[in-house]
Amino acid sequence: MIAIIDYGMGNLYSVSKALERMNVEYTISNDIDVLNEASGYILPGVGSFKDAMSILNETGLAQFVKDIAESRKPLLGICLGMQLLFEQSEENGLAKGLSLLPGNVVKIPENAGEEKLKVPHMGWNDLTIKNESPLLENLETNFAYFVHSYYVKSEEAEVVLATAPYGVDVPAVVGRGNVFGTQFHPEKSSGLGLSILQNFIKMVEGEKR
């Protein structure tokens, strides 16, 4: 079973509907006793990094997510949920993250040379695969749907599995060990998103450890 971690700042409906379409057993909960019964986890997120971390810390879910990483159960962060996996964010003032992956979250620059960029980065963009991962096997397409104003900067290249161009190379898929994240919304990314979710499910089922 997959557990969608509900801390009050996630797009639970679209993620759960995607799992339902794939006939995947799931639960949505913030109860740690219930969450402990799952074999894999999705950490969604929409909104402010600082607010999200405040809730996670206050509810004990921050430590629970850290324990997931130690347990080796697969974990997938989506959008803000991906950013929370890193060390800190500058959004609305510095805030510490979960520190499961190395790197910091910074604002997308509004200019790339002479080109002015619209922030937030919103819409479809194509991915460039940087490192092999079971999460990225057999993708039907390279296009994904993004909505974000901040992005991850990491000095450890092996953590960045795929990037998307938007003035800078935006880390679009990240991962190390059993911890993964997508900056885009796989549940809104048609064929590519479906493939990524299916690959994650296979890891949860133990087919791709």
Token representation of residue 82 = 């991906």
Query: By the 8 A CB rule, do 150 and 91 touch?
Result: yes
DSSP3 helix / strand / coil % (the chain, rounded to 5):
30, 30, 40
First to last CA, the chain: 16
The letter for the amino acid at 115 is E
* Helical residues (DSSP H) of 72-189, grouped into ranges: 80-83
Helices then strands (H, E): number in the chain? 6, 16
Token representation of residue 184 = 């885009």
Which amino acids are annotated catalytic? 79, 185, 187
Going by C-alpha positions, the residue among 185, 157, 191, 168 that lies closest to residue 82 is: 185
